[in-house]
Structure 1
């Protein structure tokens, strides 16, 4: 049985001109009216997509960054969501049915017909997951960009084994560093690494140490301590992988110092620019490369307008993620 779908909906959309956004980019400012609530058409799904009636959303740093600089006027803001299926495309993967509870992440902030801060959104069927009865809409909405980012960093970049079925693989002596473990991405990364059987070493402020340990970290260090790097190296001499969940200031250099002896690998969530960390591989990722389409920012301004291509390994990882996580 179908549900009645309106022709229009309310959505939060970008409201800055290209001139204002370029000025914000150049001056690191936030001028102009960033967003407005507008009446826009309900997205028309393609045959491989589902239409979702949105019930809950979650916020990410990427949302305000898009609003300040990247979002064209009229683009629907927001990435994370939970809701119910309102319509199913004839070739949508996932055995979806109208009324199913659904959640995930979409590439919000760039398109006029794609974003989560709206009454409806469209998403490819294979890039959404079915919400179990044990999880509320509010909880499900948080399994979005941060969870996808943690999965991409660990499972598709750093070679962490998949913890299929959500089953703990047991304790391993293989260590991994999660810098800024108390962030949303950090907490997801800690859980995925722990389920995969790794020894999880994290950094956090002292007031967050208990939280990070509660989520599975085996050891936690204060990132502000001048002896933190040396203590980690002495305690975990084979450590060669790190996920930098902060990726600003000295965080990437901290991670590089930890894994340098073993010519290790650091994955960052922001572009570190030109770096030379003396034998350490530094790899920048964007969760949006897992959504199956190439994209470009600020075209045709010439500023920050590199084209980001679809990365098949990331797309496959995202599909795997949606099939396996979360479990009740």
Structure 2
């Protein structure tokens, strides 16, 4: 099969399409013929330093959509020919290849009317946002959220999910992305480069602050975000923990929520099955016009390294997907 091969740490810009042997599914696994694979910052970030569980050459790519071509032993709930999408295990070879292996209990069926490209735009960013909002936060107790980096994948999906639940959403973005973020449903957008974020948040909320912050930027940004929270507010952090010492014990009573979507692959099977449930929920929303996949660009397999370079330079709005079929 053809695959985009990573031949060493930090060599992701030099990846080339080469021929390798296709994988075989083990017990509880399925072989997927990959039709589309989503690109994410985690691809180049992890490839820059490598991973202790990898051997080279390695194949990147966590988000895959395609057709089941072979069933491993014990798989009874799926059939050859089923169209599916899934979030893959970062420690294993990934989706930038014609065929890929994944566990049968983590895949979601792609409904009629949703393309493989749109489905592949969902998993990493979409499931992360879904986990942040619907698995970590007491959503019924939250009215107003600040979701950082609304033009990014996690931020963009987060805005849509929050608005679908009837919440008031404030977001941050560069000025040239404000129209895009407002289109996704944000009620207010703050130009974090040229405006005082805290002052704007307090002005919008009439001095109260927000019930929850979803930070996708950095540990420092998460720390700064503590200033925007109400008493008993919630901070969800995805790109690094805040400085917990900033808030003295028994004062604001902040709840902290760490998100690490990929860690679920090392958990028990029951926990891993939530990947399938999150996928089913988001695909249903897409099918009924309640969620945009934010697919902005389609490249071929050879074009993945250059597209990852643009992701690394933060010159991308929306989701990039590689089309293989």
Q: TM-score, normalised by structure 1?
A: 0.75
Determine if contact 2:33/2:98 at 8 Å carries over to the other structure: yes
The residue number in structure 2 matching 1:52 is 32
Q: Which moved more, 1:270-279 or 1:225-234?
A: 270-279
Shift of 1:101: 1.5
Q: Which moved more, 1:280-289 or 1:74-83?
A: 280-289
The residue number in structure 2 matching 1:287 is 261
Q: Which moved more, 1:31-40 or 1:207-216?
A: 31-40
Q: Which moved more, 1:199-208 or 1:224-233?
A: 224-233
- Is the helix fraction higher in 1 or 2? 2
The residue number in structure 2 matching 1:83 is 66
- Counting only pairs closer than 5 Å after superposition, residues 154-193 of structure 1 correspond to structure 2 as 154-160=133-139, 174-193=143-162
CA distance in 2, matches of 1:320, 1:33: 34
- Counting only pairs closer than 5 Å after superposition, residues 118-157 of structure 1 correspond to structure 2 as 118-157=97-136
Corresponding residue pairs, total: 275
Determine if contact 1:190/1:216 at 8 Å carries over to the other structure: yes
CA distance in 1, matches of 2:200, 2:20: 55
Q: Give the root-mean-square deviation of aligned CA atoms.
A: 2.6
Residues 1:48 and 1:173: Cα distance change in structure 2 (over 3 Å): closer
From 207, 210, 221, the equivalent of 1:239 is 210
Determine if contact 2:83/2:110 at 8 Å carries over to the other structure: yes
Instruction: Give ranges in structure 2 of 5+ residues lacking alignment.
Output: 249-253, 288-325
Structure with the bigger RCO (C-alpha within 8 Å, sep 6+) is 2
Query: Secondary structure, in 3 states, of the residue corresponding to 1:240?
Result: strand
Instruction: Give ranges in structure 1 of 5+ residues lacking alignment.
Output: 1-8, 22-29, 162-171, 294-309
Determine if contact 2:71/2:80 at 8 Å carries over to the other structure: yes
Query: Secondary structure, in 3 states, of the residue corresponding to 1:326?
Result: helix
**1:143-202: CA deviation from partner (whole Å, max 9, x where unpaired):** 1211111112112222336xxxxxxxxxx9811110111101111111111122222221
From 221, 228, 231, the equivalent of 1:258 is 228
Shift of 1:50: 1.6
CA distance in 2, matches of 1:197, 1:312: 32
Determine if contact 1:81/1:141 at 8 Å carries over to the other structure: yes
Q: TM-score, normalised by structure 2?
A: 0.75
